[in-house]
Amino acid sequence: MQYALVFAKILPGVCAEMVPKGGDFSPAMLGRGKAEPDMILAPPRPGIYVRGTETVDQILKAALDVLIDEGADAFTLRRIAARCDMKVGNVSYHFPRKEMLIQVMLDELVESYGSVLDQTVRKPGLTAEERLRRIILLCLDDIQTKRTTHLFTELWALANHSDFVADRVRAFYQRVHDAIGEYVAQLNPALSPDDVHSVALFISASMEGSTPFLGHGKPWAHKMPAFTALAATSFIHLAKTVTARDIAGLVSETA
C-alpha cells in the first residue's frame, strides 16, 4: 500500500490520546479504548484545519520514512523534523512525544487496511473460504514490500523498550486476529471463540514470522510464491477441519 492509501483517511479526531492527569501516556486500545478513572482524554489530534492537516500529513510521512529507511534508533523528533524540513518546535507542537506518532501511524494503517479489506475481501458474493484466502494472500503480498518489512521489524524493536508502543502494536494485531477469526468462525462454527482466536493467532503469527526470512530483501524472498501457495492451502484446511479436541490434545502434549 502506498502513502496515498496509508494516509488517505487522516481525519480530525481520528484518535484521542489517553493521557494521565500527570501528563504521561498510558496504553489504550487502538481507536477503541476508554479512559481509566484516573485518566482524561487529550484534545483531538492536531491539524483540524486544512493548513494544519497538511502539516500533520508531512510530519507523518517523514516519520514513516525515517522508521523505514533509518530504523528505530533514528526515530527522534529532531530527525523527523529534518526529514520534512521543519523546525523541531513545529513537529513537537503537533506531536509532543514520538509515541503519539506511533499511535497515529498505526491508527492510519488500520484505516488503510480496512479500506483494502472492504475493496477485496468483503465484496458481496464471496464465500468465507475465499475471503480467508484473500486475507492470507493480501498479508503475504504486503510482507514483500519494503515498507512493511522494515516498518514492522522496527516497531517490534521499539516495542521491546516501550510499554506504550508494545500496547499499540498488540492492539493493531488484535484487529488482524479479529479479521482472520471472523472467517475461521464461519468455516468452523463448532469452535469456541477462544479456539477461533487460537487458530487466528496461529495463522497470523505464521505469516508475520515469515518476515525475516521472506520479506523484502531477505535471504529467501524468492521463495515467497511457494510459501504463499502452501500457506493458503494449509491454513484454510486447518481452519475448516481443526477441532476443539485437536487443540486441547496438542496443548496437553506440550504441557
119-167 tens-digit pLDDT: 999 999 999 999 999 999 999 999 999 999 999 999 999 999 999 999 9
The 8-class DSSP code of residue 190 comes to T
pLDDT number for residue 243: 96
Phi, psi (deg, nearest 5) at residue 160: -65, -20
Average pLDDT per consecutive 10 residues, the chain (255 residues; last block may be shorter):
33 33 32 34 42 81 95 94 94 90 86 88 95 97 96 94 92 94 98 98 98 97 98 98 90 64
- CATH level 3 topology of 1-98: Arc Repressor Mutant, subunit A (1.10.10)
Nearest of 142, 152, 167, 140 to residue 71 by alpha carbon = 152
The 8-class DSSP code of residue 222 comes to G
- What are the sequence ranges of the domains in the chain? 1-98, 121-255
CB 146: neighbour CB atoms within 10 A? 12
Q: At CB < 8 A and 24+ separation, what contacts does 82-89 make?
A: 84/58, 84/59, 86/55, 86/58, 86/59
Retrieve residue 5's grid coordinates: 492509501
Nearest of 142, 171, 174 to residue 159 by alpha carbon = 171
Q: Are 93 and 135 in contact (CB under 8 A)?
A: no
